[in-house]
Structure formats: structure tokens, C-alpha cells
Structure 1
Amino acid sequence: MIINKTNLAALFTAIKTSFNKGLKDTTPLWSKVATLVPSTTNTTTYAWLGQFPRMREWLGDRQLKSLALHDYSVKNKKFESSVAIPRDDIDDDTYGVFTPLFEEMGYAVATHPDELVYTLLGAGFTSLCYDKQNFFDSDHPVGNEDNGIASVSNMQVGSGEPWFLLDVNRPIKPLMFQRRRNYDIKAMTKDDDESVFMRDEYRYGVDARVNAGFGLWQLAFGSKATLNPANFKAARTSMKSLKSDEGRPLNVMPKLLVVGPSHESAAEEIFLSRELAGGGTNPLYNAVEILVVPWLA
């Protein structure tokens, strides 16, 4: 290839095509459990977390609820992935061998939010959420000065790999994916670029400013106990019994089970088998959707 501005622009178009193919052909999983939140600053504060506005019969004046403000914040982080192509490979028309690499870069971009979100979910036993307790904790404070404060649990103790039961059917999901600047692929191909002049290579890379954060702990239950029918039922009952600070049912309906590869077989046996091993109909058949994610391994 004759290396000039026109041909380098055509090459970059081909690279972006391969990148976009890898991006398009990949189905991300993060949106199942996380709400997309656009960010406009370095750090976004979620003062409204923990509020569950409910309707009431309008008798007399409106009753204005004073919102308890929280200072839970998520700071955007910068991420990048970059490669360098020697000028000789372009000059000799061998740049086509890099096509799969840029498809893989597109795949990496598509799954990066998955990695952030599900890694954070797995860290929920040791990471604080908006109420200053770990996201999965045994003593979340629930209530107000009038009704008193009670400690509420959204976890089961144990020594095994964690599994998670989630309600993901509400406008606010258990986690958040915060996006300040979307993923974008760029190139350094000008003759006066430092890499071209000093190393005789062209550089291509993608970057973004994003992060993951915790949403409402009430919509998630984490367990390190054995994944079996008894522990699942206890987790489900606990979630369905949750109430707001005013003592009103939250109507939590968990329908998604998130597990790592080590729990995949147990989950399939409990929820995908129509018949029990000892005979009879399985009452938990299709009770939840099973989502297996590698970032919980």
C-alpha cells in the first residue's frame, strides 16, 4: 500500500468496521442487572437512593415526604486498550492479519461493562452502598424516627462461592453502570506523531470514562450458603417481605438468579428440571431465570 493520507483514512475505516463487527456481534449482559446512568461530572452523587415513593389516597392537603439525603458517590474511571501496527506491515499490505485483533477489541469493549458490573456484584459483601453498610449485609437500617429503626438482612452466610437473587423488573435496578464518556476508537497516523517518527508505527486505541456502582440493596440478595431449594426459598421469602421506611410492602419480586460457573449445574438441576430426582413435580421449575457470568468465578 502506498502510505498517504487517503489510504491511511481508508485503512482506519476498515479497522473501525472490524471493531464495530466485534461490538455488534456481542450481546452484553450488564443491562440485565444495572441501570444506565449518564454522568456529566468527574463524580456523580446519588442522594436519592433509598427512596421508595408510593401513592396514597389524597385526603386533605398533600403530605410532603422529607427525603433522607445520602452521599453515596461513584467516581468515573478511565479505561483504554491500544495496539501498535508497524509501518512496514502496512507498506507490505500485511495489515489484514490484524483484522481479528480489532474484532476482539470490539468484543472487549462490549463486555467491559459486564466485567465492571458483575465484579462489583461479587464484591458486594465487602463494599459499602448508600446506607454506609456493605451492599450485602445483615444489618441494613430500615425505618424512621416515628416507627423506630430495624436491622434488615439481604444475605446468607456461608463459605462457598456466592450466588445472587435479584429483582430486575423495576425502573431502578440493583446496580448502576455510569457512563461519562462512551467508548471510542481513535488513531495516531500523522507523519509528525511521535510514534510514527520515533518508532515507525501507527497506533490505534479505544478509551472511555465509566464505572459501576450499587443501586438499591433491597432488590438484591447475596448468599454464600449452599445453593439448594431451602436456601433459595429463604432468600426469596426475605426479599418479598421487605418494607419501606414507612412500613409499607416494597413488592419486591425476584426472578433472576445470577451464578458463577461453579453453581451452573446446581441451578439447572433446581430450576430447569420438571421432575424431582425422587419423583414428583418440581415446584421450583422455571421459578427464576438463570444467568451464568464468568466474573463470579
Structure 2
Amino acid sequence: MEINANNLGILNTAVKTAFNNAFAGAPSQYQRVATVIPSTGAANTYAWLGNSSQIREWLGERAINRLKDHDFTIKNRKFEKTEAIPRDVIEDDQFGVYTPLFAQMGQDAAEFPDVMTFALLKDGFTTPCYDGQNFFDTDHPVGNGEAVVSVSNMQAGAGEGWYLLSTKRAIKPLIWQTRRPFNLVMKKDANTSDHVFMTDEYIWGTDARCNAGFGLWQLAFASKADLSAANFNAARTAMIKQKNDAGSPLGVIPDLMVVGPDNMSKAELLLEAVNNANGASNTNYKKVELLVCPWLA
């Protein structure tokens, strides 16, 4: 194929089609566990995290709920992936063998929010959230004035972590923040490109500005203890008993369990087996939905 602006335009269309089709068709689960927030600057500050109250009867003046000074900020980061096709391959009309490469690039871009958000669950034992405590911690402060108590959203242990999440509220346990979404761009200019002159190849790249961060710890519970019925029920009960700073129930109901490969079999027996090993009815059958996450391997 003669390499000129017209033919490179045709090639670019084919490459972008492969990328876009794979991007659109890739399975993605991050929106189940993360609030998606658009970003218009270098970072977003989430001052509203942790400020919750309930509707009350209006007696006298309104009770104004003012934001606490949490100043929790998520900075956008830049990410990229770049692939090249040798000039000889284009000249010899063999560029079709590279189509799967760009389709994979599209799938990688679509799955990248999953990689980032679910990794936060593993990092939550050692990374602070808006209240200054680790996202999964035994000492989250809840209350006002002298009535502050420590609340735990974790079980200690030495195994692979498993996680209970409440995902059906307006705010979710995690945050996915996007400043600029992934898009595929070709470095063009036919034979006049400095890169083509020096390397004898044509390049395509995708990049984005984005980041993932912690939302409300009250909507997540983590355990490194054995994934047993007793530990599951204790974690679920602890989430349901959550209260706000005024001492009123938050109404949190966990609806999703996220596990990595090592806990997959135990989770399936706990949540998806109709009967226990002894033949008795499994009272935890479908109690919450199960999500096996490969990014937790």
C-alpha cells in the first residue's frame, strides 16, 4: 500500500474502529461500587463526605447542617498506552494482523476504571479516607462533641480480604473521577513525521486524566478472617447497625460481596448453594449478590 495521507486516514479509521468497538463491548463493573464524578480541574475536593443527617419534622427554625472540615481531595493522574505499526507492515498490506492489538488496547482502556477502583479495596487497610483513619479501620470516629465513639468496619485476620458493600444508595463506597476520558489518537504527518523518519514506524496512543478514591467507609466492610457464615453474619449485622453522628440509623443494607480468586469457592458455597454441606437449608442463600473480582488476585 502506498503510504500517503489518504491511505493513512483509511488505516487510522480501521484502527480506531477496532479500539472503539472493543472499548464499547468490554465488561465493566466499577460503576456498581463507585460514584462517578466528573472533574473540571487538577483535583476534586469532597468536603461533603461524612456529612449525613435525616429529614426531621419542621418545628421552629430550620436545623442547618453545615459541612465538617474534612477537606478530602482526589488529585487527577495521567495514564497512557501507546502501540506502533512498522512502516514495512503497512507498505506490505499486512497491518490487519495488528487489529487485535488495538482492540485489546480498547478493552484495556474500558477496564482501567475497574483495575483502579477494585484495587482500592485491598489498599483500604492501609490508606486513609476522609476522616483520617484507614478506610477499613477499627477506630472511625462517629458522633458530636463528647459523644464520639469508635466504630469498626473491619474484621482482623491473616487471609485474603473479602468485602461487603452497600451499592444501591446515591453515594457509593468508592469514587471514580474523570477529567479526560480515554481516546485513541494517531501521530500522523505521513512521511514528514520526525518519529517515522527516525524509527520507521507509525504510532497510536490513548491517554486519560482520572483517578479513583475512597467514598463513605460506612458503606463498606472488609474482613481478612475466614469467610464463614458466622463472620459473614457478624459483618452484615455491623453494617446494618451503622448510625450517623446524631445517633440515628443510617439505613445501610449490604447488597454485594466482592471476593478475589482465593475466596471464590467459599463465597459460592456461602451465598449460592441452596443447602449446606449437611443438607440443611442455607439461610444465607442469595442474601447478597456475589462478585468475583480478578483484579483482587
- Rounded Cα–Cα distance in structure 1 between residues aligned with 2:258 and 2:24: 24
Query: What residue in structure 1 maps to residue 287 of structure 2?
Result: 287
Question: Structure 2: which amino acid aligns with 1:100?
Answer: P
Q: How does 1:229-240 map to 2 (within 5 A)?
A: 229-240=229-240
- Rounded Cα–Cα distance in structure 2 between residues aligned with 1:295 and 1:126: 18
CA contact (8 A) 2:53 2:244 kept: no
- C-alpha deviation, 1:280, in angstroms: 1.9
Query: What residue in structure 2 maps to residue 120 of structure 1?
Result: 120
User: Comparing 252-261 with 23-32, which one deviates more in the overlay?
Assistant: 23-32
Question: Structure 1: which amino acid aligns with 2:109?
Answer: V
- Rounded Cα–Cα distance in structure 2 between residues aligned with 1:195 and 1:83: 13
TM-score, reference length from structure 1: 0.98
- Rounded Cα–Cα distance in structure 1 between residues aligned with 2:140 and 2:192: 58
CA contact (8 A) 2:162 2:259 kept: yes
Query: What residue in structure 2 maps to residue 11 of structure 1?
Result: 11
2:143 is the counterpart of 1:150: no
CA contact (8 A) 1:34 1:117 kept: yes
- C-alpha deviation, 1:51, in angstroms: 1.2
Secondary structure of the residue that 1:41 maps to in structure 2?
coil
- C-alpha deviation, 1:18, in angstroms: 0.5
Query: What residue in structure 2 maps to residue 46 of structure 1?
Result: 46
Secondary structure of the residue that 1:24 maps to in structure 2?
helix
Query: What residue in structure 1 maps to residue 269 of structure 2?
Result: 269
**Which runs of 5 or more residues in structure 1 are unaligned?**
none
Query: What residue in structure 1 maps to residue 228 of structure 2?
Result: 228
1:80-109 deviations in Å (ceiling 9; x for gaps): 010111111111100000011011101101
Query: What residue in structure 1 maps to residue 137 of structure 2?
Result: 137
CA contact (8 A) 2:43 2:75 kept: yes
Q: How does 1:77-116 map to 2 (within 5 A)?
A: 77-116=77-116
2:252 is the counterpart of 1:252: yes
CA contact (8 A) 1:161 1:262 kept: yes
- Rounded Cα–Cα distance in structure 2 between residues aligned with 1:118 and 1:167: 14
User: Comparing 2-11 with 251-260, which one deviates more in the overlay?
Assistant: 2-11
Secondary structure of the residue that 1:210 maps to in structure 2?
strand
Question: Structure 1: which amino acid aligns with 2:181?
Answer: N
CA contact (8 A) 2:118 2:295 kept: yes
Q: How does 1:66-77 map to 2 (within 5 A)?
A: 66-77=66-77
Secondary structure of the residue that 2:233 maps to in structure 1?
helix
Question: Structure 2: which amino acid aligns with 1:174?
Answer: P
- C-alpha deviation, 1:44, in angstroms: 1.2
Query: What residue in structure 2 maps to residue 197 of structure 1?
Result: 197
Query: What residue in structure 2 maps to residue 174 of structure 1?
Result: 173
Query: What residue in structure 1 maps to residue 186 of structure 2?
Result: 187
**Which runs of 5 or more residues in structure 2 are unaligned?**
none
Secondary structure of the residue that 1:10 maps to in structure 2?
helix
- C-alpha deviation, 1:27, in angstroms: 1.4
CA RMSD of aligned residues (A): 0.9
CA contact (8 A) 1:75 1:211 kept: yes
Query: What residue in structure 2 maps to residue 209 of structure 1?
Result: 209
Secondary structure of the residue that 1:6 maps to in structure 2?
helix
- C-alpha deviation, 1:66, in angstroms: 2.3
Secondary structure of the residue that 1:257 maps to in structure 2?
strand
Secondary structure of the residue that 2:93 maps to in structure 1?
coil
- Rounded Cα–Cα distance in structure 1 between residues aligned with 2:282 and 2:120: 33
- C-alpha deviation, 1:193, in angstroms: 2.2
Query: What residue in structure 2 maps to residue 2 of structure 1?
Result: 2
- Rounded Cα–Cα distance in structure 1 between residues aligned with 2:69 and 2:173: 19
The percentage of aligned residue pairs carrying the same residue is 53
Question: Structure 1: which amino acid aligns with 2:272?
Answer: L
Secondary structure of the residue that 1:127 maps to in structure 2?
coil
TM-score, reference length from structure 2: 0.98
- C-alpha deviation, 1:65, in angstroms: 1.7
